[in-house]
C-alpha cells in the first residue's frame, strides 16, 4: 500500500494529521530544518510525537534538510544521535555531509530531500547506493517520467502531490537571499516570488498591472491513480505552516481517494474530492509538472493567489453523551442559527444548526466572536475529540 505523508508544524497538527488519515508525518526539529518560522519541535516534543505515532502504527520523519554553512554544523552528530534515541523513523536530508554522518554514526534511516532535485534514475541510484533508502523526487517530473524512472531503480520513491511549488528548482532560488538576506536553503525563504512587482523602463511605470512570478499550488487528485500504479512508495503533502483545518481537510480527502482506488482500482468521480479540498484555506491550484511542462495557466502572474475561507469555526474538545453538550474551542465568527457541518477523524460528516450556545460560566452566548473562546454547544449526535465544526 502506498504511504500518505503529511506535514506537521507542531504537536497538535501532528495529531490531527495522523488522526485524519496520514500514515506518516514529517516534522522539523529546532536544528538543521528548513522551516525556520514553523513551531519546530524540541527533542522532548519529538519523543512525544514518535510515542503518539508508534502507538497507532504510524511513522515520524524529521527534516534535517538545510544546506549548511560551516557555522551551522555545531552539534550535528549529537543531534542525530538524539533523534535516534527518540526512535524517529527516518531523517530527510539534502547535505552529503549530514547524510554521511547519519550513516556513519547512527542507524537512522535516511531519505534524500527534494532539495537535491533528483530527476533521473542515475541520480536516484547514486544516492541509493550510498545507503539512502528513499528518494524524494524533484517536483519537476511529469507522471510518465516518474513511471519510467521507477522501472530503473530499486529505491523507494516519494512524490509531492499537494502544496506550494517553488518558482525555481525546489530550494535553489536566491531571490530571498538577495532581496531580504533570508536564505531559502537555510529555512528563511521570504517567498519573494509571490510579491507584486511593477514593470518599469528607466524608472517609469509602463503598466497599470503588477505581477508576481510564482506558480499555482500543486493539487494532484486526478494523478493519484497513475502514481500508485507506477509503484511510488509515498505521496507527500506540503505545508508545515498550514492550519489545523487545512491539514485535516487535505489529508482526509486524499486518504479517502487513495482508499477508494486501492479497493476498487478506479475512481469513478473526482468531483466530490475536489469540492472537499476547496473547503480548506488554499491558494489557486493546478497539476504542476505532473501533466508535462507547465504553461501560462499554471502560473499566477497578476492574479490574487490567496483564497482564504472562514468555514472552520470550532474544534471539539469533549462531548457529554447524556446532555449532548460538546465543549469546543472557537476558531472563527459564528452565531446561533448557523448551519454547521461536523467533520470527524473517521471521515464521517453530519450537520446540525447551532441554537444553544453558552460560555464556561453558563451564560447564553448567541454570538461567538472571541478567538479560541471555550464554548458549550448542544449537538444532537455524538462527536469525538478533534472533530471540526465548519460552516456549511
Domain shared by 116 and 186, yes or no: yes
Number of domains in the chain: 2
* 96 Cβ contact partners less than 8 Å away, ≥ 6 residues apart: none
Rounded to whole angstroms, the Cα distance separating 126 from 147 reads 18
Domain shared by 128 and 167, yes or no: yes
Q: Which domain CATH number covers 216?
A: 3.20.20.70
Q: Indicate if the pLDDT at residue 2 is higher than 70.
A: yes
Q: Indicate if the pLDDT at residue 32 is higher than 80.
A: no
Rounded to whole angstroms, the Cα distance separating 16 from 107 reads 29
Mean pLDDT, residues 324-344 taken together: 96
Q: Indicate if the pLDDT at residue 303 is higher than 70.
A: no
- Using a 10 angstrom Cβ sphere, with 0-12 exposed, 13-18 middle and 19 or more buried, the burial of residue 351 is exposed
364-385 pLDDT, tens digit per residue, is 999 999 989 999 999 999 999 9
Domain shared by 324 and 292, yes or no: no
Mean pLDDT, residues 47-57 taken together: 98
Q: Supply the pLDDT for residue 39.
A: 54
Task: Give the torsion sign (CA, 281, 284, 286, 288).
Answer: negative
> Which three cell numbers, joined as nine digits, stand for 337?
442559527
Output the CA–CA distances (angstroms, integers) from residue 307 to 83, 281, 304, in the order listed.
Answer: 37, 6, 8
Nearest CA among 105, 46, 52, 47 for reference residue 75: 105
158-198 pLDDT, tens digit per residue, is 999 999 888 777 767 888 888 888 877 666 778 888 888 88
Domain shared by 220 and 342, yes or no: no
Q: Supply the pLDDT for residue 204.
A: 87
Q: Which domain CATH number covers 349?
A: 2.40.30.10
Q: Supply the pLDDT for residue 53.
A: 98
Q: Supply the pLDDT for residue 304.
A: 58
Domain shared by 180 and 271, yes or no: yes
Q: Supply the pLDDT for residue 187.
A: 63
54-84 pLDDT, tens digit per residue, is 999 999 999 998 888 888 788 999 999 999 9
Q: How confident is the model at residue 344 (pLDDT cuts 50, 70, 90)?
A: very high
User: Which has the higher per-residue pLDDT, 88 or 239?
Assistant: 88
Domain shared by 289 and 321, yes or no: no
Domain shared by 284 and 320, yes or no: no
Q: Supply the pLDDT for residue 88.
A: 98
Domain shared by 255 and 355, yes or no: no
Q: How confident is the model at residue 306 (pLDDT cuts 50, 70, 90)?
A: low
Domain boundary among 252, 277, 306: 306
Domain shared by 160 and 208, yes or no: yes
Domain boundary among 265, 284, 306: 306
Q: Which of 15-29, 229-243, 272-286, 324-338 has the lowest mean pLDDT?
A: 272-286
Domain shared by 293 and 329, yes or no: no
Q: Indicate if the pLDDT at residue 265 is higher than 80.
A: yes
> Which three cell numbers, joined as nine digits, stand for 86?
527518540
Q: Containing domain of residue 217, as a range?
A: 3-306
User: Which has the higher per-residue pLDDT, 39 or 161?
Assistant: 161
Domain shared by 292 and 339, yes or no: no
Domain boundary among 255, 275, 306: 306
Q: Indicate if the pLDDT at residue 38 is higher than 60.
A: no
Q: Indicate if the pLDDT at residue 331 is higher than 90.
A: yes
Domain shared by 280 and 364, yes or no: no
Q: Supply the pLDDT for residue 296.
A: 84
Rounded to whole angstroms, the Cα distance separating 382 from 96 reads 51
CA end-to-end span of the chain, whole Å? 33
User: Which has the higher per-residue pLDDT, 174 or 386?
Assistant: 386
Mean pLDDT, residues 5-15 taken together: 95
206-228 pLDDT, tens digit per residue, is 888 788 888 889 999 999 999 99
Amino acid at each position: 500500500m502506498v504511504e500518505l505523508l503529511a506535514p506537521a508544524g507542531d504537536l497538535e497538527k501532528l495529531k490531527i494529521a495522523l488522526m485524519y488519515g496520514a500514515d506518516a508525518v514529517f516534522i522539523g526539529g529546532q536544528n538543521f530544518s528548513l522551516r525556520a518560522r514553523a513551531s519546530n519541535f524540541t527533542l522532548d516534543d519529538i519523543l512525544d510525537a514518535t510515542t503518539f505515532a508508534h502507538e497507532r502504527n504510524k511513522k515520524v520523519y524529521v527534516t534535517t534538510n538545510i544546506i549548511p554553512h560551516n557555522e551551522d554544523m555545531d552539534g550535528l552528530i549529537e543531534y542525530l544521535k538524539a533523534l535516534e534515541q527518540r526512535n524517529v523513523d527516518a531523517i530527510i536530508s539534502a547535505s552529503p555531509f549530514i547524510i554521511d554522518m547519519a550513516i556513519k554514526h547512527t542507524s537512522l534511516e535516511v531519505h534524500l530531500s527534494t532539495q537535491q532535485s533528483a530527476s533521473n534514475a542515475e541520480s536516484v541510484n547514486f544516492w541509493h547506493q550510498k545507503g539512502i533508502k528513499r528518494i524524494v523526487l524533484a517536483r519537476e517530473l511529469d507522471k510518465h517520467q516518474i513511471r519510467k524512472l521507477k522501472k530503473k531503480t530499486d529505491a523507494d520513491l516519494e512524490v509531492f502531490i499537494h502544496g506550494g511549488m517553488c518558482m525555481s528548482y525546489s530550494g535553489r532560488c536566491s531571490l530571498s537571499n538577495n532581496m531580504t538576506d533570508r536564505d531559502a536553503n537555510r529555512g528563511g525563504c521570504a517567498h519573494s516570488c509571490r510579491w507584486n512587482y511593477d514593470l518599469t523602463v528607466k524608472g517609469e511605470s509602463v503598466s497599470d498591472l503588477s505581477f508576481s512570478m510564482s506558480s499555482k499550488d500543486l493539487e494532484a487528485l486526478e494523478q493519484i491513480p497513475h502514481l500508485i500504479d507506477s509503484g511510488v512508495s509515498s505521496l507527500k503533502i506540503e505545508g508545515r505552516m498550514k492550519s489545523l483545518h487545512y491539514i485535516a481537510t487535505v489529508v482526509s480527502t486524499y486518504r479517502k481517494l487513495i482508499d477508494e482506488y486501492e479497493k476498487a482500482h478506479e475512481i469513478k468521480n473526482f468531483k466530490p474530492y475536489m469540492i472537499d479540498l476547496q473547503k480548506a484555506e488554499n491558494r489557486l491550484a493546478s497539476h504542476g509538472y505532473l501533466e508535462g511542462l507547465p504553461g501560462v495557466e499554471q502560473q499566477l502572474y497578476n492574479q490574487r493567489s490567496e483564497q482564504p475561507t472562514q468555514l472552520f469555526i470550532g474544534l471539539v474538545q469533549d462531548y457529554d453523551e447524556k446532555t449532548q453538550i460538546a465543549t469546543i474551542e472557537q476558531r472563527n465568527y459564528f452565531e446561533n442559527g448557523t448551519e454547521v457541518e461536523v467533520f470527524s477523524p473517521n471521515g464521517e460528516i453530519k450537520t446540525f444548526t447551532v441554537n444553544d450556545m453558552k460560555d464556561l460560566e453558563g451564560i447564553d452566548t448567541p454570538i461567538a466572536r472571541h478567538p479560541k473562546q471555550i464554548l458549550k454547544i448542544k449537538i444532537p449526535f455524538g462527536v469525538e475529540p478533534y472533530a471540526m465544526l465548519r460552516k456549511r
